Structure 1
Amino acid sequence: MSFLVNLALGLLFGIGLVVSGMSDPAKVLNFLDVFGTWDPSLAFVMGGAVVTAFFGYRIVLKRPKPVAANSFHLPATTGIDRKVLVGPAVFGIGWGLGGFCPGPALTATTLGAAGAYVFLPMMFLGMWLARMAASRKLAAATV
């Protein structure tokens, strides 16, 4: 059941990305080009997401448990550390250079965007390298 719920939500998210034009890397790059061909539409999409999440979390977290799971999976820590600062910085640099973030890159493959076929393998390679580095750090700490 959980798989089907996640699949349906992922499809809804993907459709939203395509309908809003956020799967087009040119739209993202134009948003980042403040002194050139600036396109503020991404700010409206992000603003809509922030407002929805703000109210959505407050409503959902009042429930005793999620609809499709036994419990909520919330972060154990709320502090800001190096990972919280470096991770988004690397994400933002990759987003600015490639014009993609993971969700839109996946949907862009269905639209035949050539850049997505380069971006996705590099994204998966980066994720793999990050996990390898984290596991080596954990192994070194336990020795």
Structure 2
Amino acid sequence: MQLEGLEPDSCSFVSTLSACSNLSDLQYGKWVHYLIRDWPNLSVTVGTTLVEMYARCGDINRAFTNFIQIENKDVFCYSVMIKSLAIRGIAKDAIKIFHLMQKRGLNPNDFTFSCVLYACSHGGIKEEGRKIFHSMGRHFFS
């Protein structure tokens, strides 16, 4: 694309960052991130993909920093951050993000519940996991 003089768009960045994430290529992912101008306002999808790329490449701090910078986070963005923290063994922070999401008026979906219950399970937070599990009824069966 660059050799042809074409400007990358959101889809280009998401695809390239996803490839970096799948390959765990942090160096190339950082380079792609550098190319994105004004990414917090570009789209929540690009921001979420950045979060996932950094987390999957082992830089959870940068993933969280990017998460904080995203404007208008959606449920999927929150879920990816919850999942990323859970995988890294930071269960208590994953649960805090889950509650923050709800406080901001976003309702969890099946992916969100899967991520937060994973965090509870691997973090040994049984009682909180039970509460969250039982709260699922309010979201899916009401």
TM-score, normalising length: structure 1: 0.25
User: Comparing both chains, which one has the higher relative contact order based on Cα–Cα distances under 8 Å and sequence gaps of 6 or more?
Assistant: 1
Q: Give the TM-score taking structure 2 as reference length.
A: 0.25
